Amino acid sequence: MQCAVAKPNVSAGSYDQQVAQGINVMLSVRATDASGQQALDEIKPLEISIMNALCGWSTDDETGVFELVRSGMVKFEQTVMRWQLDFKITDQLRTFP
């Protein structure tokens, strides 16, 4: 997924615009208790490890770094807790004549 995060700058035939691309990481953990606490206890260390691995990282050709947008439970049913982490990275779209 890619979306614009700033208005484009058009000058002398070139086009320059900041864009953000996003990724999502979905964790699914089986819960053996009705409250889901056991699943939450398993998810928290995984969540921290994923955030430590991705936040602040980028490939060599990106202008920005990965940032955490959101992290939280998206569903808990039939003894499975689903937890989603959303990250974005900012880059520049540039075209020249």
Distance CA 17, CA 93 (A): 5
CA-atom Rg of the chain in angstroms? 18
Cβ(19)–Cβ(7) under 8 Å?
no
The identity of residue 32, as a single letter, is T
Give the model confidence (pLDDT) of 33-90 as tens digits: 888 899 999 999 999 999 999 999 988 877 789 999 999 999 998 889 999 999 999 8
What is the bridge-based pairing of β-strands 9-11 and 67-77? unpaired
Token couple for 65: 């770094």
Query: pLDDT confidence of 2, banded at 50, 70, 90?
Result: low
Name the residue range of residue 37's domain: 2-6+15-95
CATH number at residue 49: 3.30.2000.10
Whether the per-residue pLDDT at 8 is higher than 80: the answer is: no
Least confident of 12-16, 19-23, 38-42, 61-65: 12-16
Q: How many domains does the chain have?
A: 1
